[in-house]
A = this chain, B = another copy of it.
Amino acid sequence: MNEVRIGVVGVGAMGADHIRTLTTSVPAARVTQVFDTVRTGVGIPPADSAEALIEDPEVDAVVIASPDFTHADLAVACVKAGKPVLCEKPLAVTAEDARRVVDAEVAAGRRFVQIGFMRRYDPGFVALRAAIADGELGEVRLVHAVHRNASSTTSTDDVSLVTGSMVHELDTVPWLLGDELTAIRVESPVTQGFRDPQLATLWTRRGVMASVEVFVNAGYGYDVRCEVVGTRGSGSLEPASTLSTRVAGLHGRRVRDDFVAHFADAYRIELGSWVQSVGQGTPGGPSAWDGYAATVAARAGVASLASGRTESVDPGPRPELYR
């Protein structure tokens, strides 16, 4: 495979981990430039600006791992520069911003953007999706999802909890089902201050309901679970820890405390797949449309949390480019 020269914008925890993964596990990838407004010295030549990095002819493809609110502008710049880009989730914090990326791609008549919904590459989620698609579970009626962090880091207010954390489920559920979200309701048992946890209910076009818990101060660790319930049976993600101990009256397995370790396989497979697809011209993973649709759902969720009502999720008609 031809080498792909990659520029990385944002070298915080996520960006640094992507650089490490690209370097150690993705043969065709070479990270040749980075840009970060505050961090330097990761051993890779820094660019003068994100824009300079994106436009540099020595950069074949871009990874965006800067703060959420910068994603859309950077993604649009990549589209305009004709550069394939892996943009960390969420595509944007607002639906309008996300839409601009879709519009840019439609205008360009070509897809450049892949969204970092890494769960689509997680072996457990992939197996769950296959079990659904194979009909092993019958006709799906319900999904139950749980998404917990030991303590909040990035999601620190009611809005970012939806747009930054729950946005994973807002992509995962329709992707698992091959379906689309049509409505969302977000509630919380906590009515004062930071409304964490949140309990969302989702509806899909084909009539599936999903219950989604997001809790970013769950105390005990990082935990992602999902059960899909059909008319013949159910499928559930199981924890992947491969060691149990029996000590002091307890038979247990450790719960990981961060998502990077939990989804290490997913990130590695995601990056490998993305680099391969970039080498072949078109990213095959979650599209700008997927990122936009998840953000539309997230904003409807934010609205629901405030209004106390079920809100419809309507990203509008899907452009030809994404069919």
Instruction: Give the size of the chain A interface in residues (CB under 8 angstroms).
Output: 72
Selected interface stretch from A71-79, A88-96, A152-160, A251-259: A251-259
Beta-carbon contact of A247 and B136 below 8 Å? yes
Of chain B, the residue at the smallest CB distance from A265 is B265
CA distance A234 to B246 in the complex (A): 5
> A218 contacts which chain B residues (CB < 8 A)?
229, 231, 233-234
Q: Chain A: interface secondary structure?
A: mixed
Instruction: Report whether A199 and B211 are in contact in the complex, using a CB–CB cutoff of 8 Å.
Output: yes
**With a CB–CB cut-off of 8 A, which chain B residues contact A150?**
249
Contact at A246–B220, with CB atoms within 8 Å? yes
* A44→B49 CA distance, assembly (Å): 42
Instruction: Pull 28 A–B residue pairs with CB atoms less than 8 Å apart, ordered by A.
Output: A27-B27, A136-B247, A141-B189, A144-B146, A189-B207, A190-B207, A191-B207, A199-B201, A199-B211, A218-B231, A220-B234, A232-B247, A233-B247, A233-B248, A234-B245, A234-B247, A235-B244, A236-B245, A237-B243, A238-B244, A240-B240, A250-B250, A250-B253, A250-B254, A251-B252, A251-B254, A252-B252, A252-B253
